[in-house]
Structure 1
Amino acid sequence: MNTDVAEVTQTQKMPVLIWSQAGRLELSSREIPQIQHPSDVKIKIHMTGICGTDLAVITGKEPGIGGVIRGHEAVGIVTETGPEVSRLKPGDRVVIDPNESCGKCRFCLRGKRNLCVGPDGRGMPIAGLNKDGTFAPWFVDAGVVRTQAAGICELGSCSPYGTAGLRPPQFP
């Protein structure tokens, strides 16, 4: 989602794309999120990609949670940070890491954060899947932001998967 088209201010609601209770993607509006916790980071989303998971939900191959703002492959600019944030500052360009490992479950304690079962044992919170994501102009969360250098990780992890079925063109 490119938000340069329609700027919003701190006092307005923002447009968002949610997965509706009716089982479809719908345009809705929400209050612009604000810093709630000392470790929160507020990001002005510049662009959000459409992930294979988004397509799987839209086509009915995977379930979607109603009312959740979709989107989790995003880049943006930090606009505000909570008082405990020291590694980022307003103006920093960032890539969103949608996975919010708890750091406390048996997997996280063994260094296997990718297998996190979440703080309540019901699964890892993931922006755009089971908690609000980035198909919106603003995103606020703690610990899910990486510097722009992290963007190469997504490219390196998705490209082999996305190109696995490609074949060279056949010419007559």
Structure 2
Amino acid sequence: MNNPSEACSAFIEILHNEIEQSQRLLDLLRTEYTLLQKGSPQALQELITEKREQLKRVEAAVASHNRFLEQQGYGTDRQGTETYIQQCSNLESTSETWHRLITLLEACHKQNETNGGAVQLNQRHVSQTLDILKGISQRDKTYGPSGESKPNSTSKSLGKA
């Protein structure tokens, strides 16, 4: 693209696609959190498949963004994007769109972290339930090299009782 104005318009379209794909991902992450709270394994499994497909679409949108910047002679990192935006004639609009994308990506990251915490909590509850069934109390536990708790070898099991 020789016309800088056309190039900036094309870049805004790329950013809008990234926003659309990232918003869909955020919606899926929020749904995932709800399903994690409800303990709905079948629905969760279906959602995970859908989330993987959406991640591929997000990756494709990011690849398009990076290709565009490379073709324009800019780096594909945040600094490269912001440097490119500075030369756009519609600087304010392009910058605003870029910041919307950044905010959305940060929300995706935060929601993913929250979901990870919910998964860990669920795993801890399952582990505690299994320990109870095995006759392992919290005071019978020791810690492994990576900080995970594990049963002491002298613990008693309900199966032995």
- Category of TM-score, reference length = shorter chain: under 0.3
Structure 2 length as normaliser, TM-score?
A: 0.22
Could you say which structure has the higher strand fraction? 1
Structure 1 length as normaliser, TM-score?
A: 0.21
Larger-Rg structure:
2
Could you say which structure has the higher helix fraction? 2
